[in-house]
């Protein structure tokens, strides 16, 4: 034996062949017996070592010297493993093959080895994917959200993309499912397509009677921020459409993922009326009775208002609620998106409020940022109404 050939004096203990490795070898060889070419059922499968595991250091050195195996050959590597039937493996046992057979079958196992490793890698990737899925599902259940909602949250956190839950009423916006900052900025420059019939402008005026015609989100937001408002019922309808799409796109463009939240884990939705301030019901009352005002001051949440008879729920789901209000117009609240909307590292909710007459044509909608107070209640924008603060 050459001095350059180093063979350890002992063969390592036989490692256990995992089910995953067994299947990978079986698949890599076409689910056939490597020695006979016969179809090989999983129930009959055994994995055979071409060079016997009982080979001594001297046996291996002799195979190296004859050019059968390379220096450092590992009898437990996939290059030495073949699939065979149970009875075939028992027949072969540890009897050595002749050199020609060794060459042939080692060549077969070596050619299949890349496939074996690829199948193992796929299996490991599948296991990791399954583990990740199970972790995500457990996290979703713990936070009382659907798996889709949780993935959307992580998508926003990782890529800044926000799921669009409603049709964006601008040209080309109807096909947008997820909006990034770049997409939002682009859509703010697109012409409006309002009202479901493609209306392309909104007429606004200010307290001085000056009028502006707004054709896209950028123009509308500039006018709104400058104090322009809608006068006629028609203009108020268009204003509501323009406000919902423009404020949503502005929020996507300017907001970011909120590292802190009192309403995320578990997620507070409209199905939890005990977490929504009574101000949503009371702030827009019209001429309530003294008894109602007194009752309102004892209500902290929408749930309290429902129990007190100050409103009742017509329809509700996680993202929207419709309320009949005792001393005001009916109210529909829609959750447009959640993020850090004002740069304070806390999660806020972008809410679309629609006030409308049950019997009549009046409708007025607007978008605002709802914040969570110290008590954990979601409060509407602005200051509390006189009904709540006067004593």
- When divided into structural domains, the chain yields a total of 3
Residue 248 CB neighbour total at 10 angstroms? 24
206 in any annotated domain: yes
Strand, helix or coil at 82? strand
Q: Is the model more confident about 8 or about 342?
A: 342
> How, if at all, do strands 202-205 and 211-214 pair?
antiparallel
Q: Within its chain, how far is the Cα of 242 from the centroid? A: 28
Same domain assignment for residues 282 and 381 = yes
**What pLDDT is attached to residue 89?**
60
**What pLDDT is attached to residue 20?**
87
41 in any annotated domain: yes
142 in any annotated domain: no
Task: Using the predicted structure, report yes or no on whether residue 386 has a pLDDT greater than 80.
Answer: no
188 in any annotated domain: yes
Q: Give start and end residues of each alpha helix (H) in the chain.
A: 19-28, 57-65, 86-92, 99-142, 147-159, 181-187, 217-225, 233-254, 279-282, 290-296, 302-308, 386-389
Q: Locate 345 and state its tokens.
A: 């590292």
Burial-class residue 249 by CB neighbours within 10 Å (0-12, 13-18, 19+).
buried
- Single out the residue of 42, 118, 41 nearest to residue 78, CA to CA: 118
Q: Locate 361 and state its tokens.
A: 């044509």
Same domain assignment for residues 359 and 283 = yes
Same domain assignment for residues 235 and 278 = no
**What pLDDT is attached to residue 123?**
77
Strand, helix or coil at 140? helix
Same domain assignment for residues 295 and 187 = no
Same domain assignment for residues 216 and 319 = no
Task: Using the predicted structure, report yes or no on whether residue 7 has a pLDDT greater than 50.
Answer: no
CB contact at 8 A, 328 and 286: yes
Percent of the chain scoring above 70 in pLDDT: 91
374 in any annotated domain: yes
Last residue of a domain, one of 120, 154, 178: 120
Task: Using the predicted structure, report yes or no on whether residue 95 has a pLDDT greater than 70.
Answer: no
Instruction: State pLDDT tens for residues 160-213.
Output: 899 998 889 999 888 899 999 999 999 999 999 998 778 999 999 999 999 999
Residue 337 CB neighbour total at 10 angstroms? 21
The contacts of residue 83 (CB under 8 Å, 6+ apart) are 25, 26, 29, 31, 32, 33, 34, 40, 45, 46, 47, 48
Instruction: State pLDDT tens for residues 361-379.
Output: 899 999 999 999 999 999 9
Same domain assignment for residues 222 and 290 = no
148 in any annotated domain: no
Same domain assignment for residues 184 and 289 = no
Last residue of a domain, one of 55, 87, 120: 120
Average pLDDT over residues 305-329: 95
The contacts of residue 58 (CB under 8 Å, 6+ apart) are 7
89 in any annotated domain: yes
Q: How far is CA 356 from CA 196, 286, 315, 325, in A?
A: 19, 13, 15, 10
Task: Using the predicted structure, report yes or no on whether residue 4 has a pLDDT greater than 80.
Answer: no
Average pLDDT over residues 279-301: 92
Q: Locate 273 and state its tokens.
A: 């009326």
Same domain assignment for residues 243 and 202 = yes
Mean pLDDT of the chain: 88
**What pLDDT is attached to residue 366?**
95
Same domain assignment for residues 278 and 385 = yes
- Single out the residue of 100, 63, 101 nearest to residue 82, CA to CA: 101
The band of 129, judged by pLDDT with boundaries at 50, 70 and 90, is low
**Domain containing 201: what range?**
162-253
Average pLDDT over residues 66-71: 92
- Single out the residue of 169, 175, 219, 170 nearest to residue 190, CA to CA: 170
Q: Locate 18 and state its tokens.
A: 């995992």
Q: Locate 134 and state its tokens.
A: 């199970």
Last residue of a domain, one of 101, 120, 139: 120
Same domain assignment for residues 279 and 246 = no
Q: Which of 132-146, 268-282, 370-384 bottoms out in mean pLDDT, i.e. has the lowest?
A: 132-146
**What pLDDT is attached to residue 146?**
82
36 in any annotated domain: yes
């Amino acid at each position: 034996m050459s001095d350059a050939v180093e063979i350890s004096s002992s063969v390592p203990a036989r490692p256990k062949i995992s089910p995953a490795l067994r299947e990978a070898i079986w698949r890599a060889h076409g689910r056939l017996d490597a020695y006979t070419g016969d179809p090989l059922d999983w129930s009959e499968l055994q994995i055979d070592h071409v060079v016997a595991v009982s080979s001594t250091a001297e046996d291996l050195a002799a195979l190296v010297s004859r050019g059968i195996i390379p220096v450092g050959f590992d009898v437990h590597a996939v290059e030495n493993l073949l699939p065979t039937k149970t009875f075939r493996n028992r027949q072969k046992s540890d009897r050595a093959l002749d050199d020609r057979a060794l060459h042939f079958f080692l060549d077969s196992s070596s050619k299949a080895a890349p496939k074996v490793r690829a199948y193992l890698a796929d299996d490991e990737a599948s296991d990791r994917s399954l583990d990740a899925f199970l972790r995500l599902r457990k996290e979703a259940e713990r936070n009382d959200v659907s798996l889709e909602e949780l993935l959307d949250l992580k998508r926003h956190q990782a890529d800044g993309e926000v799921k669009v839950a409603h049709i964006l009423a601008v040209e080309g916006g109807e096909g947008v499912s997820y909006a990034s900052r770049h997409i939002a900025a682009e859509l703010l420059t697109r012409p409006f397509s309002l009202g479901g019939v493609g209306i392309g402008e909104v007429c606004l005026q200010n307290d001085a009677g000056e009028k502006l015609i707004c054709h896209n989100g950028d123009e509308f937001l500039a006018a709104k921020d400058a104090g322009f408002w809608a006068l006629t019922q028609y203009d108020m309808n268009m204003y509501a459409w323009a406000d919902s799409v423009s404020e949503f796109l502005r929020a996507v463009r300017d907001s970011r993922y909120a590292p802190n939240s009192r309403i995320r884990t578990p997620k507070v939705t409209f199905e939890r009326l005990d977490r929504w301030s009574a101000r949503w019901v009371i702030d827009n009352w019209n001429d309530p009775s003294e008894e109602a005002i007194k009752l309102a001051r004892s209500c902290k949440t929408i749930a309290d208002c429902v129990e007190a008879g100050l409103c009742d729920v017509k329809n509700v789901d996680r993202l929207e609620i419709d309320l009949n209000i005792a001393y005001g117009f009916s109210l529909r609240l829609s959750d447009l998106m959640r993020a850090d909307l004002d740069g304070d590292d806390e999660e806020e909710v972008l809410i679309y409020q629609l006030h409308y007459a049950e019997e009549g044509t009046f409708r007025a909608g607007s978008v605002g940022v709802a914040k969570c107070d110290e008590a954990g209640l979601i409060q509407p924008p602005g200051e509390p109404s006189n009904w709540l603060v006067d004593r």
